Amino acid sequence: MTINKSIFFLLFCIMLIPSISFAEDFNGSKLLVGSVEKVFEINQFRVSDDVDPDTVGLPRRFFIDIEQKRVLPSMESMVRRISSIKHVEHIENKVILQGVEEGVVNVNDGLAWSMVISKETGKVVLSASGDGVAYVVFGSCTEVD
Can you name the CATH fold of 26-143? Porin (2.40.160)
Is residue 83 within a helix (H) or strand (E), and if so which, with residue range? strand 83-84
- Ordered by start, the domain boundaries in the chain are 26-143
Lowest mean pLDDT among 26-30, 73-77, 128-132: 26-30
pTM above 0.75, yes or no: yes
**CA–CA gap between residue 86 and residue 121 (Å, rounded):** 24
Q: What's phi and psi for 105, nearest 5 deg?
A: -60, 135
Which range among 12-21, 44-53, 108-117 has the greatest average pLDDT? 44-53
